[in-house]
Structures are given as C-alpha cells and as structure tokens.
Amino acid sequence: MQSKYSDAVFSVDRYLQRLGIATPIGPPSRQLLTDLQLAHLIKVPFENLHVFHRRGVRLDVDWAYSKIVEDGRGGWCFELNSCFAELLRRLDFKVDCVSCQVWEADLGDWGPPDDHLALVVHLDGVRWFVDVGFGDCCIHPLRLQDGDLAAVPRPARIELCDGTFTLTELMSTGGTRAEWQPQLRVDLRPAEAIRFDRRSNYLQTEPGLSWTEKAFATRALDAAGSRVTLRMDVLRQRVGTAEFVEQSVARESWAGVLLHHFSLVDSNVR
C-alpha cells in the first residue's frame, strides 16, 4: 500500500512557510544559512514517534518532505537533514550529506558508521557543518577549521584529521565544572541516502534501543539556546544556556503536553 507520505510535490515556498520564513530570501549567504538552520530547529522537532510506534520511516526526500512540510511533523536525522539538504540545494547552496559516528559515553567509544546523517555546506570556498537532526546540539553553522568555536548552546571544538573531523562540546557535569566531551566523528566524503538504509532499518526495528522504547520530542526555542524536551514522563525546559528545569508528566497528560509544545498529535503512547 502506498504511504500517504509520498504524494506531495516538493515546494520551496511551502517549506519556507513551514519554517516561518518569508520569500523572496535572496542568494546563498552565511546569514541565510544561519537563519534557515535556526528556523528549522525551532519549527521542526527532532522526534521519534513514528519509530516508537513502529509505523516505519523511509530515507527518500519525497517521504521526508510530505511528513515534515505537508503533515507538519518532525523526525530523526535521516529525515530532517536529508530534507533540509534538498531545500538548501533548491536555494542554490552546494550541500553534501555526510556519515557520522556518535560518541557512546557509556561505552567510552565511537558507535558504528552511518549512525547519524549530517550536512556540510560549501559557501564561498568555506565549508560549514550544519545539523538539524541531532537534538540539543549547535544551532548555528560551524566553520570547518581546527579550534574552539563560540557556539550555542555551548562552546564547541573541531579537530580535522585525514578527511574526517571530530566535534566536541564543553558539557556541564551538573556542578561548577564543565568538560569537553566528544559528540560526533564525521566522514567528510559525500554520502548518498541509500548508504544509511541498513542503519536506519536497524535503529527502528532492533528491540531494546531508546529509539524504539522511549518516545521523545525536542526543539530549540530561540537563538539564545532555549530548548524544550519531552520524554515519556518528564518535560525539560531551558532558558538560554541555563540548566534544564524538569517537571513530571503524567501518562494521561502526554498528548496535551506534546500538542502544546510541539504541535504534534500523537496520543497512542504505549
């Protein structure tokens, strides 16, 4: 049976409307890229509801566009970043999809290749790392050069090495100290969407993974780093770069909280 997320024709104007950005918007520029990334992170939540409910997700842009733009939903990296890449290309940006490994802190090691899909944008001879599908990560494009960066919501560090780079962030440990913690190791070679098919299928079907066992949604709220995150039984909110404030969410309140903060209708949580 044909999915309902397959019939819409990709429309730049409708996508920009979904992001709250008026047209016309001008030629490619760093400021435009920054504005688009921030708008995407605010308007389109990073969420796993389709995966959690075993509804299945696909890698093709037609699917992602219909789901994100026409149906007003969010998604995970394989949907969000691939769809955003297509928007950028239609706005005349040069964009590569790239494969990432995610740091697994509990194991103290990198996860497998293709665990995350992100973007590298080429603009006026400069490469920028862009990501609208990694939750509470940098909300502005990061210039690909060695060194520390004054990123939001926390300082970041990039280390380039032999066609890859490592993204590290200065993370709070809950006290007065903050420590540099790895986030992503990125292969800078352009990657086709089909490359991520096996990993995407694994992450949405393997029992016991957080993707399939714990429903969540998160989105940025402003350029200062404010964020709201809803998990199965807790709502976390942050103003700027302050610490998160948590409050419990009763099972019967889930649907209302989800709708209020994310404009998502999804009441059949297991």
| Distance from C-alpha of 270 to C-alpha of 256, rounded to nearest angstrom | 16
Q: Which domain holds residue 210?
A: 12-262
C-alpha pair distances (Å), 100 with each of 71, 129, 131, 175, 260 = 28, 12, 11, 30, 32
Confidence check: pLDDT of 201 > 90: yes
pLDDT in tens, 91-148: 999 999 999 999 998 899 999 999 999 999 999 999 999 999 999 999 999 999 999 9
Give the pLDDT of residue 1: 32
pLDDT (tens digit per residue) in 50-78: 999 999 899 899 999 999 999 999 999 99
Per the domain annotation, does 270 fall within a domain? Answer: no
What does the pLDDT read at residue 224? 97
Cβ 139 vs Cβ 238: under 8 Å: no
- Please tell me the predicted confidence (pLDDT) of residue 9: 87
Cβ contacts of residue 2 below 8 Å, gap of 6+? none
pLDDT, tens only, 5-64:
555 689 999 999 999 998 888 999 999 999 999 999 999 999 999 999 999 899 899 999
Q: Is the pTM of this model over 0.85?
A: yes
Number of domains in the chain: 1
What is the structure's pLDDT at 5? 55
Instruction: Identify whether 253 is part of a domain.
Output: yes
Closest CA to 4 of 41, 50, 53, 43: 50
Is 3 part of any domain?
no
Domain membership flag for residue 269? no
pLDDT of 190 > 80? The answer is yes
Give the domain CATH number at 57: 3.30.2140.20
Question: Has residue 235 been placed in a domain?
Answer: yes
- How many C-beta atoms lie closer than 10 Å to residue 155's C-beta? 16
